[in-house]
Chains A and B, each alone.
Chain A
Amino acid sequence: MKRLVALALLLLAGLTGAAAAAIETPFFAERVATGKLPAIDQRLPEQPRVLDMQSMGRIPGKPGGTWRMLMGDQRDLRMVTLYSYARLVVFDEKLQLVPDILESFEDQDDKVFTFHLRKGHKWSDGQPFTAEDFRYYWEDVALNPKLSPTGPNVALLANGQKPKFEIIDPETIRFTWDTPNPAFLPSLAASQPVYIFMPAHYLKQFNPRYAGKDDLAKKIKDAHVKDWSALHERMSRQYRPENPELPTLEPWRNTTPPPADFFVFERNPFYHRVDENGRQLPYIDKIAMMLGTTNLIPAKVASGEADLQARYINFEDYTFLKHAEQANNYQVELWQQGYGARAALMPNLNAADPIWRKILRDVRFRRALSLGINRRDINRVLFFGLARESGNTVLPESPLYKQSYADAYTNYDPAEANRLLDLVGLDKRDGEGFRLLPDGRRADIVIETAENDTVDTDILELVGDDFAKLGIRIFNHPSQRDAFRQRIFSGQVIMSMAEGLDNAVPTEKFEPDALAPSAESQFQWSRWGLYFESGGSQGEAVDMPEPQHLLDLLHDWRHSTSDAQRKTIWDEMLSINADQVYTIGIVNGTQQPVVVDGNMRNVPKSALFSFEPGSFFGIYMPDTFWYDVKSE
């Protein structure tokens, strides 16, 4: 039924799209007039994606202008890919999967996926985007041992098996697995998507299967690379758009070859989205990305050098930014950060020290620490009371949220905490009243953090006062991020502090991998995670019942066939995590300042700012943002 409604809506959208005649964009008027570019009708697919601004609560805009943004280094080029958020399928603001680059898709029991491309859809260089681009990726990249030494991306494997790939016609392709692959569609819609298509017509010149031998040899020599695979890899990066020649389907395409400190992106003349009036999106013509020292970015933003900026500005810059709001004609909005916790203590269940490991694995110890933190004071002192005192779990914005997850062991109860600590074998104290480990050492905890984030240090200062009342002293040891991780991975760290769940607004369609020991980067059980990631060749096997159960549940989710089943699995995993307090969340829902130019329209006043889901600005579709200025 649902699917039928969706189809009907889609048809309706298609009809309205056909109704409004496409309007030429002034930015391209000259190029069209001189014949360098075909007219708008020939540039758009037959069925563009029509965004009805009115029904989205937005104002249909007019084209023009440059979006200036400030970034740190060349790696940040990927922010444009994130902010653009054009994917085969995308999550809408209600976190429902909708087709975007695809015209439509069919999903049979999560085993057979049929994708329908938009007829007449073109790459940014004007060449047609067809099933061949998917075939090229699958046969010539994913299955090529030189380009993909470890095989196709895991999202393309269900139970370790590769799919059957078929081309039905130039606009239709199908992936078929024997077992369900529920993670497939979300991975295509992810902020960092799995790309299953590549511009074949462009990349074939770097592939010896298609390119002339001498021609390719010359290209390899000119680029100073070892062989064709290195050249192909460099030229084909879609996520980090470094290569200005690489055709794209995104709203803006890079025009500056690196290295540079200033990158200019220009609107893609063949972009597939239009508004209800027939104006091709994006409204904004250009993006100007300036690279520089990140510590200077708040000051530069305050002097009006960015039009829409959130990266590299923090809550502590808020008052400073607010101060110059009038003078430089911008507004500072506060969005909500999407982490499960702004800061969470992560007891290392794989700590190398056997005495500590035994204590950290005792759930009563973890609950005691959680009960011993005065979250209210931390919220008031450091976040003006604007954050939410909560465990490390999903946010209320997620359909999977339950109050009990957020509240589990987060009430401040030092008496109960002391009672629990006495029970876990920390009942002996030294002359100064600090607790002793069973082997007579003082139970001092060194809490390691990455970089010197001043907020982390401040939180730990307050937590330290709270823990002193439990007879435990803590010390903060900040180190460079990479070294910090290596120390955790090797088990030298007893406890660390980091952000909580990366995706704290999931629906049941997202894979619950962050809730089970499935990755080395999970600091509370990194060696178990590594064991899972490496398929058992590295790390340690899980040797506790509850984490093993979480892994089984993750396995069940990967073989699940219905949303109801997935929801049950999520519920169980969330409640186990809340009850077992594997990570001790302190506050979440902290604020992210977003600076918006005074003339920019359609930017939400308040929203969720998160990498996953949402691609930071991406889910709010920056291609619909526009400048309300009198035309020159």
Chain B
Amino acid sequence: MLRYLIRRFMIMIPTLFFTSAIIFTVINLSPTDYFSNYVAELQAQGEKADMSRVEFLKREYGFDKPPVERYFLWVGGLLHGDYGYSFEYQLPVKDVVGDRLYLTILVSFSTILFTWLIAFPIGIYSATHQYSWADYGLTTLGLLGLAIPHFLLALLFMYFANVWFGLSIGGLMDPQYLNASMSWGKVRSVLAHVWIPVLIIGTAGTGAMIRTVRANLLEELQKQYVTTARAKGLHPFRILIKYPLRLAMNFFISDIGSILPSVVSGAELVAIVLSLQTTGPLLIHALQTQDMYLAGSFLMFLATLTIVGVLISDIALAFLDPRIRLQGGAR
């Protein structure tokens, strides 16, 4: 087990190194850069870009140096926790991401909880009552949620939330709380708004999870040990909880790898449509304006989380399921 862990850790280093190289190369492949983009946007409105200021900024951010040198400057910075500078905000990337990270984590965690709370009972019910009317009905509902595009649902929700409940369109709180420090009013305002993104992002995840829980559970329920347990007169609920459900959970644990980065990045598309103050719109905007260090460092952060997430789920699986353990004692 220890050797396995060490090996996994060793593999992480070259993986991250290659990821960073790919991210940097792709961002630099574009024939344009942040500065030409900036000038283009200004001139589109008839404004003149102060070229001496652009020259000044280029020099300050080392754009006069060759890309290879810039890459090592960036990676070197990442190693000491310096994520570089955002050109757009003229601030360290760390400060730009700042508060948005907390809101993103809030939205994502609520969404994940929502998904689990809804999907698990329905999935279990569907599996145990296969081909019943309720199974069909709930499955249809789940698939509907999966099939309707997020952004469309977001637009509809936003419109009706405004018309029926008078909530301000988009955003995660009423405007007056945006710069305010934490207060009960602010918390209430956030709670009043957060359910919309949670519901929207959650619907698709719920549909998918219902189906997975149902399929995994059905497979287990048809196995002979279940039949045996039933024949021996064990209570159906106890049978369900004791073995099939536990085994059906494997997929769920291996899913942690993809949950971790999504907790931080949030659902970008919905966040843009709803104008949420989360990290998703920030990342997309940084990519659009070619704010390369902000985009690059953020992507690197997500990549790291994915790799760590996969590691965690592998370890957890190895602990939970003896069949997966690689160097288990019993052969």
Q: Which residues of B contact A148 (CB under 8 A)?
A: 52
The answer on a CB contact under 8 Å between B169 and A502 is no
Q: Are A74 and B89 in contact (CB under 8 A)?
A: yes
**B219 at interface by CB-CB < 8 Å:** no
Q: How far is the CB of B162 from chain A (nearest CB, A)?
A: 5
Given contacts A149-B52, A261-B277, contact A296 B169 (CB under 8 A): yes
B170 touches A521 (CB 8 A): no
CB-based contact A486/B52 at 8 Å: no
- Check B47–A293 contact: CB distance below 8 A: no
Q: Count B interface residues, CB 8 Å.
A: 48
The complex places the Cα of A288 from the Cα of B174 at a distance, in Å, of 13
B43, CB-defined interface residue at 8 Å: yes
A482 to B170: give the CA distance in the assembly, Å.
Answer: 29
B238 within 8 A of A: no
Distance, CA A230 to CA B168, complexed state (A): 40
Task: Tell me if A611 and B55 are in contact (CB < 8 A).
Answer: no
User: Is the Cβ of B170 less than 8 Å from the Cβ of A300?
Assistant: yes
Q: Mark A208-238, 1 if CB is under 8 A from B, else 0.
A: 0000000000000000111001100110000
CB contact under 8 A between A296 and B170, given known A233-B56, A261-B277, A262-B178: yes
Asked if A440 CB lies within 8 Å of chain B CBs, one says no
Binary CB contact string for chain B from 22 to 55 against chain A (1 if under 8 A, 0 otherwise): 0000000001100011001101111110111101
A6 within 8 A of B: no
Q: How far is the CA of A230 from the CA of B58 in the complex (A)?
A: 11
Q: Please name the residue on chain A nearest to B62 by beta carbon.
A: A226
- Contact A481 B56, CB 8 Å, known A256-B179, A262-B175, A293-B281: no
Query: Are A290 and B175 within 8 A (Cβ)?
Result: yes
With A73-B285, A305-B168 known as contacts, the answer to whether A293 contacts B273 (CB < 8 A) is: yes
With A and B bound together, what is the CA distance between A349 and B258 in angstroms? 53
Assess the B50–A264 pair: CB atoms within 8 A: no
B275 touches A292 (CB 8 A): yes
* Chain B residues positioned under 8 Å from A75 (CB to CB): 41, 88
B178:A233 contact, CB within 8 angstroms = no
Cβ-defined partner of B92 (8 Å) among A224, A300, A521: A224
Cβ-neighbour of B44 out of A151, A259, A260, A481 (below 8 A): A481
Give the interface of A toward B (CB within 8 A): 68, 73-75, 147-151, 153, 191-192, 224-226, 229-230, 233-234, 242, 256, 258-262, 264, 288, 290, 292-293, 295-296, 299-300, 303, 305, 450, 480-483, 485-486, 502-503, 521, 611-612
Partner of B175, one of A229, A288, A502, A521: A288
Question: A303–B272 contact, CB under 8 A?
Answer: no
Residues B31 and A483 in contact, CB atoms below 8 Å apart: yes
**B residues less than 8 Å from A191 (CB atoms):** 47
Residues 129-169 of chain B, each 1 if its beta carbon lies under 8 Å from chain A, else 0: 00000000000000000000000000000110010000011
Q: A343 to nearest B CB, angstroms?
A: 14
Contact across chains for B171 and A486 when beta carbons are under 8 A apart: no
Which residues on A sit within 8 Å (CB–CB) of B41? 75, 481-482
Say yes or no: is B69 at the interface (Cβ < 8 Å to chain A).
Answer: no
Q: Let me know if A259 and B178 touch, CB within 8 A.
A: no
Complex Cα distance, B31 from A213, in Å, reads 42
A228 CA to B201 CA in the complex, in Å? 46
The minimal Cβ–Cβ distance linking B182 to chain A, given in whole angstroms, is 15
Asked whether A150 lies within 8 Å of B36 as measured between CB atoms, the reply is: no
Q: Give the residue name and chain of the A residue nearest to B85 (CB).
A: A224
14 further A-B contacts with Cβ under 8 Å, apart from A292-B275, A502-B45, are A149-B52, A149-B56, A150-B51, A153-B52, A264-B179, A290-B175, A295-B273, A300-B170, A305-B168, A482-B37, A482-B290, A502-B46, A611-B45, A611-B47
A262 touches B40 (CB 8 A): no
B245 at interface, CB cutoff 8 A? no
Q: Which residue on chain B has the smallest CB distance to residue A263?
A: B179
The answer to whether A296 touches B178, judged by C-beta atoms less than 8 angstroms apart, is no
- B45 in contact with A259 (CB, 8 Å): no
Within the complex, the shortest CB–CB distance from A213 to chain B, in Å, comes to 21
* Min CB gap B154→A, angstroms: 10
Is the C-beta of B208 less than 8 angstroms from some C-beta in chain A?
A: no
How many residue-residue contacts, CB under 8 A, span A and B? 105
Please measure, in the bound complex, the distance between the C-alpha atom of A192 and the C-alpha atom of B42, giving whole angstroms: 11
Distance, CA A224 to CA B93, complexed state (A): 11
Report chain A residues within 8 Å CB of B55: 149-150
Q: A259–B95 contact, CB under 8 A?
A: yes
Which residues of chain A are near B285, meaning CB under 8 Å? 73
Determine how close the nearest CB of chain A comes to the CB of B60; give it in whole angstroms. Answer: 5
A residues within 8 A CB of B59?
Answer: 149
> Would you call B50 and A153 a contact (CB within 8 A)?
yes
Which residues from chain B contact A258 at a C-beta distance below 8 Å?
Answer: 89-91
How long is the Cα–Cα vector from A192 to B46 in the complex, in angstroms?
9
Contact A486 B170 (CB under 8 A): no
Question: Could you give 20 example pairs across A and B, Cβ below 8 Å?
Answer: A148-B52, A224-B92, A242-B90, A258-B90, A259-B91, A260-B178, A261-B178, A261-B277, A262-B179, A264-B179, A288-B175, A290-B175, A293-B281, A295-B273, A300-B169, A303-B168, A486-B31, A502-B45, A502-B46, A612-B46
Asked whether any CB of chain A lies closer than 8 Å to the CB of B98, the reply is yes
- A230 near B179 with CB under 8 A, answer no
Asked if B16 is at the interface (CB within 8 A of a chain A CB), the reply is no
The verdict on B240 contacting chain A, using a C-beta distance below 8 Å, is no
CB atoms of B96 and A151 under 8 A apart: no
Q: Complex formed: what's the CA distance from A147 to B272 in Å?
A: 38
Whole-angstrom distance between the Cβ of A169 and the nearest chain B Cβ: 31
State the Cβ distance, A285 to closest chain B Cβ, in Å.
Answer: 15
Provide the residues of chain B in CB contact with A150, threshold 8 Å.
51-52, 55
User: Which residue of A is nearest B44, CB measured?
Assistant: A481
The docked-state distance in angstroms from the alpha carbon of A150 to that of B46 is: 22
- When chains A and B are docked, how far (Å) is the Cα of A486 from the Cα of B36? 9
Expressed in whole angstroms, the Cα–Cα distance for A149 and B52 within the complex equals 6
Kindly report which residue of chain B lies nearest to residue A187, judged by CB atoms.
B48
With most chain A CB atoms within 10 A of its CB, the pick from B85, B277, B288 is B277
Set of chain A residues within 8 Å of B91, measured between Cβ atoms: 258-259
A261 to B98, CA, bound (A): 12
The docked-state distance in angstroms from the alpha carbon of A305 to that of B31 is 39
Say how far A306's CB is from chain B's closest CB, in angstroms: 11
Per-residue interface assignment for chain B, residues 67 to 89, with 1 indicating a CB less than 8 Å from any chain A CB and 0 otherwise: 00000000000000000010011
**Contact flag A450-B170 (CB < 8 Å), given A150-B51, A288-B175, A290-B178:** no
Least Cβ–Cβ distance between B64 and chain A, in angstroms: 11
Distance to closest chain A CB from B75 (angstroms): 18
Separation of A133 and B59 alpha carbons in the complex (Å)? 27
Q: Is the CB of A292 within 8 A of B40?
A: no
Cβ of A192: which chain B residues have Cβ within 8 Å of it? Answer: 47-48
| Minimum CB–CB distance for A338 against chain B, Å | 9
Partner of A74, one of B40, B88, B275, B281: B88
Could you tell me if A521 and B272 are in contact, using CB atoms closer than 8 angstroms?
A: no
CB distance from A160 to the nearest CB of B (A): 15
Residues on A with beta carbons closer than 8 Å to the beta carbon of B92:
224
Shortest CB-to-CB span from B153 to chain A, Å, is 15
Asked if B46 and A486 make an inter-chain contact with CB atoms under 8 angstroms apart, the answer reads: no
Measured CB to CB, the nearest residue on chain B to A233 is B56
On whether the beta carbons of B170 and A292 are closer than 8 Å, the reply is: yes
List chain B residues, Cβ under 8 A from A503.
46
CA distance A137 to B37 in the complex (A): 28
Within 8 A of A (CB), among B99-124: none
C-alpha spacing A123/B95, complex, angstroms: 30
Looking across the interface, which residue of chain B has its beta carbon closest to that of A78? B47
Q: Cα distance A482–B288 when bound, in Å? A: 10
Q: Chain A residues near B159: list those with CB within 8 A.
A: 299
**Cα–Cα distance between A305 and B275 once the two chains are bound (Å):** 14
Please indicate the chain A residues that have their CB under 8 angstroms from the CB of B288 in the complex: 480
Within 8 A of A (CB), among B192-233: none
User: Once bound together, how far apart are the Cα atoms of A50 and B276, in whole Å?
Assistant: 44
| C-alpha spacing A448/B275, complex, angstroms | 30
Option from B89, B275, B290 in Cβ contact (under 8 Å) with A259 = B89
CA distance A192 to B48 in the complex (A): 8
Q: Do B96 and A259 touch across chains, with their CB atoms under 8 A apart? A: yes
Closest-by-CB residue of A relative to B179 is A262
A86 vs chain B, min Cβ distance (A): 18
Find out whether the CB atom of A259 lies under 8 angstroms from the CB atom of B169: no
Which residues on B sit within 8 Å (CB–CB) of A485? Answer: 36, 40
